Amino acid sequence: MKIEINREEFLSVFQTAASISPTRSPKPILQNVKLIAEESAATLLATDMEIGVRLNVPGVSVDTPGKCILPVQRFNSVLRESSDETLSIETDDSGSIVKGKNSKFRLPAENPDEFPDIIDFEEESYFEVPANLLKQMIRRTLFATDAESARFALGGILLEVDNDQLVAVGTDGRRLAKMEGPLKKVGTPPQNESKTIVPTKSMQSIDRALPDRDEPVQFVSKANDVLVRFSQGVISSRLVEGRFPPWRDVFPKRDSAVTINLNVGPVFSAVRQAAIVTSEESRGIDLTFGKGSLVMTGNTADVGESRVEMPIPFDGEEIVLTLDHRYFSDFLKVLEPQATFQMEIENSEGAAICSTDDGYGYVIMPLSRDRRK
């Protein structure tokens, strides 16, 4: 194999592929990225056996087609430290040779034929959503998943197709985030009866790989895998086992609840200030709604007290709610500071339900006021 690459373009794609490769593995070859150079295209492959990626590489001129294994750490360092606009990559029996204008690196490598094959997207029936919408759905639900349950339902994001809408849901049992948006069906894609639960780590990789622009992204769910295709390549992921909780039951219809319109920026600032006196053992802050104001207070022994007040459009009887400030902040930080949201509250024991006009909903279970943790 002999090719010439645009260093910066190759680096960008290589780093995306390298993020999939495990730092430790019982199969050392997985700690590498596989490069396949064909006459008119070059592709990078990486996998940890749970997530796989096939990425098209722009700016590559192929002199002699072939394939090779690129060690993640060393080759990434070559790409980052070199100042050359273009580099050449050749292979021989002992590995790969990377040449710049005034530099040369020989990198020993393993047999590329031993690298696991990575599934490609060949389906004719699939779902389609805009890339920027899917990225927003991931970012607005990912934080609510349970990081300790990587192999169970709460350790992933539920993707559910509801007629012409895609719904993404994440929960750890104490809060729940839901985002929905329009999708398009091409052909007759299969719909898994138990829904599609994609691991949190896989969703992070998909978010990093997708472009920040309004281009179509295709995906299809199979029995054990989900495939996602975009302009630069394909990502595949194993699915999480288990059944997702009935998340719609978490959004109750409450006749006696009140809904208050709030601005993200001021509320987020007030939460951060009130949380200054909280601790790892005592994370709750009291939110008192009423008489035209929202008062946030914190009180932690040996740490101190806080009180932050801001005007709100609610003059009803006081309602006091104790929330974990981290959970409230997680919702606010994924929204634009200038945005508005609605907060539905009922009493000190009922959940707080936050929502926006673009299909985003968030439920936070309150803390007991006497425990505040």
Any bridge partners for residue 89, and if so which?
A: 3, 98
Instruction: Kindly indicate the confidence band of residue 60, based on its pLDDT and cuts at 50, 70 and 90.
Output: very high
Write out pLDDT tens, residues 199-228. 999 999 999 999 888 899 999 998 889 999
Map out the domains of the chain with their CATH numbers: 2-114 (3.10.150.10), 126-247 (3.10.150.10), 251-364 (3.10.150.10)
Is residue 370 over pLDDT 60? no
Is residue 350 over pLDDT 50? yes
Q: Are strands 293-300 and 304-311 parallel, antiparallel or unpaired?
A: antiparallel
Q: 195-211 as b/e, with b when 16 or more CB fall inside 10 Å?
A: bbbbbbbbbebbeebbe
Is residue 311 over pLDDT 80? yes
Tokens of 366: 């309150």
- 68-77, 183-192, 268-277, 352-361, range with the lowest pLDDT: 183-192
Instruction: Kindly indicate the confidence band of residue 371, based on its pLDDT and cuts at 50, 70 and 90.
Output: very low
Instruction: Kindly indicate the confidence band of residue 109, based on its pLDDT and cuts at 50, 70 and 90.
Output: confident
Taking residue 132's Cβ as centre, other Cβ atoms within 10 Å add up to 15
pLDDT score at 368: 80
Is residue 281 over pLDDT 90? no
Between the alpha carbon of residue 100 and those of residues 83, 94, 118, 360, the distances in Å are 9, 19, 31, 49
Question: What is residue 206's three-state secondary structure?
Answer: helix
The H or E element that residue 89 is part of is: strand 86-92
pLDDT score at 108: 85
Separation of alpha carbons 74 and 18, rounded Å: 11
pTM of the entire predicted model = 0.91
Write out pLDDT tens, residues 131-180. 999 999 999 999 999 988 766 899 999 999 988 999 999 999 999 999 99
Write out pLDDT tens, residues 264-278. 999 999 999 999 999
pLDDT score at 195: 77
Alpha helices in 140-246 (DSSP H): 200-209
Q: What is the average per-residue pLDDT within 15-33?
A: 93
Q: Name the more confident of 329 and 40.
A: 329
Average pLDDT, the chain: 93
Instruction: Kindly indicate the confidence band of residue 253, based on its pLDDT and cuts at 50, 70 and 90.
Output: confident
Q: What is the average per-residue pLDDT within 44-49?
A: 96
Alpha helices in 19-160 (DSSP H): 72-81, 131-139
Q: Name the more confident of 287 and 147.
A: 287
Percent of the chain with pLDDT over 90: 83
